[in-house]
Structure 1
Amino acid sequence: MSSLISSSNPEGTDMDVQTSRVVPDGGYGWIVVAAVALINMTNQSILSVFGQLFVGELQQMQEDSFTAALITNLNSLALNFSGLFIGPAIKSFKPRNVAATGCVLVSLGLALCAFGTESWHFIVGYSFFVGFGLGLISPSTFMAINSYFSSKRGRAVGVSLAGAGLGQVLIPHLVRYLLENQGFRYAVLAMSALSLTGLFGAAFLKPLNPPTKHNNRRHIRLLAEADGEKTQSTPLQVVIVPSNQSKFETIPPQTDTLCSRMGHRLVQAMDLELLKDLVFWSIIVGMALVYTATINFTMIFPGFLGQTAGLNSQMVAFCMSMVAGADIVCRLLLPIITDHLRIPYRVVFLVGIAGLFVARCVLAENQALPVIISMSILTGMMKSATVINNNLTISAHCRSEKLAGGLGLSMMSKGVIVITVGQLLGWVRDYADSYIICLYVQGAILLVVVLVWTPEIFYRHRKQRRTTTKSMETQSVDAAEEVAKLNK
């Protein structure tokens, strides 16, 4: 059988070996998890110290807050629209190489910012280089972890993301020390050097089941071929002409145009076939709305605590630490519980959305200190449920060969929603001049996702249970018939 496969299809043997491998759910996979945690701690946490690093320097350059907001928004834009390239990149190259490239881009972007003298230097360095680099890191590291885990995938992703949370706790103190003792330039250069330590982690990203070699390069060669060369390499085509049709009316065989071939290659490279699935649309748009509401809440939460709730700076920092602390703890503990109970990733994501909605509404209605502290903890817990299960929800819905493209399309949807809905949330805050109204609008967005997802998930669950019950009944009937035949 194996000789037949190898003789008829040279690539078939590799595919069979790949599919026969057993996912270890651990082993070397935990080294991969530790490597990804290191990459996240030294690169993904860079986003949390933007204001600490650059706002003071921008003020010395006499730039207003609009410039700082523009830099962060363009960074988010580049980060999410890197999804346009991430699918073909992971298919054509190893996730290890893509993650290493992302670390180099982050380091290069920060190095450019260290020597920046005008605002556009920060836009080029931080917005585009750092943003695009971070966009390459997240899906490629997830793909590396995904190949080593199945039932323990949630806790593996949670531990790797806890590295980013740990970096968000430790790196601000390092940045403060460097700014006070060495100044802006050396502080940013130190962050640039720190991001390069992610290359050490990327060296350990060895996927257990490397993805099948994609034919992107072959696609490019085919596009470069002339039509004449392609027709020479194809077998002779015979056109049958009906007797009542003259030879001058013979219809020539239809040939693909360059545009159609390019479109076909683009669809294959980016897995655009996923866009035919309405459930996939619901998933990526819903997650993009939650992502946008989370970013907006992070921006307004300190102002809400200081101006609306009337807390001093020490209590504001305490409440924000409660959010971060609960987030880190739940990133470690929540996947253990959900994996043990075998709760679907999307259901856990939905519970997180509902919890964030409740926290927003309670904060808008009551600004007592005990309520704020408890809702800060709830926000951190529910935020971890959405962050951990973001890519996991995509992986549960997409086939393995379509996962890279699915992650890229999800990132692009976030970029589009951030530009549109995110800007709308900012306009609401400025127009209403109220943090409470902004919290209610965020809650409305989260409620829409809950109302759309809940009936769909319930319907699919009922349908799956009905199918499982029917198959079990069929098997029992067949077994009873076999027993009856044996008794005869």
Structure 2
Amino acid sequence: MDVQTSRVVPDGGWGWVVVAAVAVINMTNQSILSVFGQLFVGELRRMNEDTFTSALITNLNSLALNFSGLFVGPAIKSFKPRNVAATGCVLVSFGLALCSFATESWHFIVGYSFFVGFGLGLISPSTFMAINSYFSNKRGRAVGVSLAGAGVGQVLIPHVVRYFLDNHGFRFAVLAMSALSLTGLFGAMFLKPLHPPVKHNNRRHIRLLAETDGEKGQTSPLQIVVVATQSKMDEAHLKSESLCRRMGNRLVQAMDLELLKDGVFWSIIVGMALVYTATINFTMIYPDFLGQTAGLNSTAVAFCMSVVAGADIVCRLLLPCITDHLRIPYRVVFLLGTAGLLFARLVLAESQDLGVIIAMSILMGMMKSATVINNNLTISAHCRSDKLAGGLGLSMMSKGVIVITVGQLLGWVRDYADSYVICLYAQILLLLVVVLAWAPEIYYRFRMQKRTSSKSMETTLDAAEEGAKLNS
């Protein structure tokens, strides 16, 4: 029997220890992204670098984070989620340590953009895979609690950074963040796999790749004679063709590229990438929108940002309990969150009243949590468990492509129009594309599923009636 189909999911137990461990990893690593400006912008200014350099460092970090999806699927399959997560924590710590000794801007590109970005890219899917194996019905709330760890980190770590910057300077502040990220290794220790995977014999794997079909089939004297009589040119041609075909098949299997044959999967990963890009762009411009367009002072801006973060954290804990209890599909919750983000930004673009801004900030935090929590869950609901690692990797790669293209376009729109309101409308357009593309498809699949279930019920009732007649 297939291991994937016979797996028993405990829906808790040690899984809650895994959730707590992932929350620790997220709190000390994923939240590093939220303090980039606080930690590095001042030092970049002392180097006489402009805003373009800061944007370049953060964009390249996002690119490395998402394009790590090219390797994360095969890595999780070969080395277990625990080892991949631990490697990610080490890379984040090493990258921050390099940044602490930076004297030129390219040092930040190497340390923060490459090492920190790649490390964070390894952490997110590997920790999700660890949680996914322990939960079924409670998977949403488990993921919500683990992601709340990142929210707590976004609240606490800025104060830690401020303390070290004020009392010990830039270098010690970055080294403190480097040491803090290593505490994620403590969390990674508890990511025990539910079912240890079959050990992979790498030497045998390499030998099989190098063998030809003829060499692997030498099991009888007749086959040996047939191979020996082939011409050397034909043998070399067959050997090269067989090796290329086998390598291609191995690559497709390792990265689960056959998922790209599925149109619905394409719709999912591209739609989520568009929402992700719009969210990143909004996070970047929201403080300036509040200060310059809405005319709020720094205290009001900070309050509105705290409202968004607070609503996000609370909903990461509460929303999954509601949606899991009601058994609402993850993709539907993601779609509702996207529609909510669209509505909130539309209201912000049309009204700059403080009361309206606070209300929309609360709604924004709530809807953002719906998309963040159900991002990987949507992939897990669509992909088989043996294809999940590859699906997560492909989703990350799609985000990298959309961020570097559509994300840059949003930045150009903001600079060209010199208007944060027009930039909001550009984000609204992206979210509207996702809503219009997903809603009819989800409704159609729901109708088809309902029709199939009703036909199945009618068949069952007819069979029961015939059985009753025969018995009578």
Question: How high is the TM-score relative to the length of structure 1?
Answer: 0.91
Give yes or no for contact 1:29–1:149 (8 Å, CA) kept in 2: yes
* C-alpha RMSD of the superposition: 2.2
Alignment partner for residue 264 of structure 2, among 279, 288, 300?
279
Q: Distance in 2 between matches of 1:415 and 1:387?
A: 16
Alignment partner for residue 204 of structure 1, among 177, 190, 193?
190
Q: For 2:465, give the aligned amino acid.
A: A
Q: Deviations over 1:443-486 (max 9, x none)?
A: 01000000000000000000011111111111111122222222
Q: Distance in 2 between matches of 1:217 and 1:378?
A: 54
- CA, structure 1 residues 452+486, in 2 after alignment: closer, same or farther (shift >3 Å)? same
Q: Distance in 1 between matches of 2:219 and 2:23?
A: 50
Alignment partner for residue 327 of structure 1, among 306, 312, 317?
312
Which residue number in structure 1 is paired with residue 296 of structure 2? 311
Q: Deviations over 1:362-395 (max 9, x none)?
A: 0000000001000011100000000000000000
Give yes or no for contact 2:217–2:223 (8 Å, CA) kept in 1: no
Which residue number in structure 2 is paired with residue 441 of structure 1? 426
Deviation at 1:235, TM superposition (A): 8.9
- CA, structure 1 residues 282+19, in 2 after alignment: closer, same or farther (shift >3 Å)? closer
Deviation at 1:116, TM superposition (A): 1.1
Give yes or no for contact 1:145–1:207 (8 Å, CA) kept in 2: no
Is 1:344 aligned to 2:329, yes or no? yes
Identity of matched residues, %: 82
Which residue number in structure 1 is paired with residue 176 of structure 2? 190
Deviation at 1:257, TM superposition (A): 3.3
Is 1:133 aligned to 2:119, yes or no? yes
Which residue number in structure 2 is paired with residue 98 of structure 1? 84
Deviation at 1:340, TM superposition (A): 0.4
Local SS of the residue matching 2:406 = helix
Q: For 1:381, give the aligned amino acid.
A: M
Local SS of the residue matching 1:430 = helix
Pairs within 5 Å for 1:106-125 = 106-125=92-111
Q: Distance in 2 between matches of 1:398 and 1:230?
A: 33
Which residue number in structure 1 is paired with residue 41 of structure 2? 55
Pairs within 5 Å for 1:69-108 = 69-108=55-94
Pairs within 5 Å for 1:89-488 = 89-211=75-197, 218-225=204-211, 229-230=215-216, 232=218, 256-487=241-472
Which residue number in structure 2 is paired with residue 7 of structure 1? none
Q: For 1:423, give the aligned amino acid.
A: Q
Q: Distance in 2 between matches of 1:228 and 1:128?
A: 44
Q: For 2:14, give the aligned amino acid.
A: Y
Deviation at 1:397, TM superposition (A): 0.1
Q: For 2:175, give the aligned amino acid.
A: L
Q: Distance in 1 between matches of 2:270 and 2:7?
A: 34
Deviation at 1:66, TM superposition (A): 0.9
Q: Distance in 2 between matches of 1:212 and 1:166?
A: 37
Q: Distance in 2 between matches of 1:343 and 1:29?
A: 22
Q: For 1:284, give the aligned amino acid.
A: I
Q: Distance in 2 between matches of 1:236 and 1:67?
A: 68
Q: Distance in 1 between matches of 2:297 and 2:32?
A: 26
Q: Deviations over 1:150-204 (max 9, x none)?
A: 0000000000000000000000011001100010000000000000000000000
Q: Distance in 2 between matches of 1:126 and 1:191?
A: 12
Deviation at 1:227, TM superposition (A): 6.8
Q: For 2:154, give the aligned amino acid.
A: Q
Q: Deviations over 1:289-344 (max 9, x none)?
A: 00000000000000100000000000000000000000000000000000000000
Which residue number in structure 2 is paired with residue 45 of structure 1? 31
Q: Deviations over 1:342-371 (max 9, x none)?
A: 000000000000000001110000000001
Q: Distance in 2 between matches of 1:461 and 1:217?
A: 48
Q: Distance in 2 between matches of 1:362 and 1:237?
A: 75
Q: Distance in 2 between matches of 1:208 and 1:398?
A: 19
Unaligned residue ranges in structure 2 (runs of 5+): none
Give yes or no for contact 1:23–1:148 (8 Å, CA) kept in 2: yes
Q: Deviations over 1:41-81 (max 9, x none)?
A: 00000000001110011111111111111110010000000
- CA, structure 1 residues 218+323, in 2 after alignment: closer, same or farther (shift >3 Å)? farther
Q: Distance in 2 between matches of 1:237 and 1:229?
A: 10
Give yes or no for contact 1:216–1:269 (8 Å, CA) kept in 2: no
Pairs within 5 Å for 1:22-41 = 22-41=8-27
Question: How high is the TM-score relative to the length of structure 2?
Answer: 0.94
- CA, structure 1 residues 432+211, in 2 after alignment: closer, same or farther (shift >3 Å)? farther
| Residues 46-55 or 21-30, more deviating | 21-30
Q: Distance in 2 between matches of 1:338 and 1:215?
A: 42
Unaligned residue ranges in structure 1 (runs of 5+): 1-11, 241-246
Give yes or no for contact 2:164–2:173 (8 Å, CA) kept in 1: yes
Q: Distance in 2 between matches of 1:234 and 1:357?
A: 68
Q: For 1:160, give the aligned amino acid.
A: S
Give yes or no for contact 1:267–1:273 (8 Å, CA) kept in 2: yes
Q: Distance in 2 between matches of 1:300 and 1:57?
A: 22
Deviation at 1:261, TM superposition (A): 1.8
Q: Distance in 2 between matches of 1:177 and 1:262?
A: 53
The alignment covers a number of residue pairs equal to 465
- CA, structure 1 residues 175+235, in 2 after alignment: closer, same or farther (shift >3 Å)? farther
Q: Distance in 2 between matches of 1:234 and 1:264?
A: 27
Q: Distance in 2 between matches of 1:235 and 1:456?
A: 58
Deviation at 1:217, TM superposition (A): 6.5
Q: For 1:106, give the aligned amino acid.
A: V
- CA, structure 1 residues 174+455, in 2 after alignment: closer, same or farther (shift >3 Å)? same
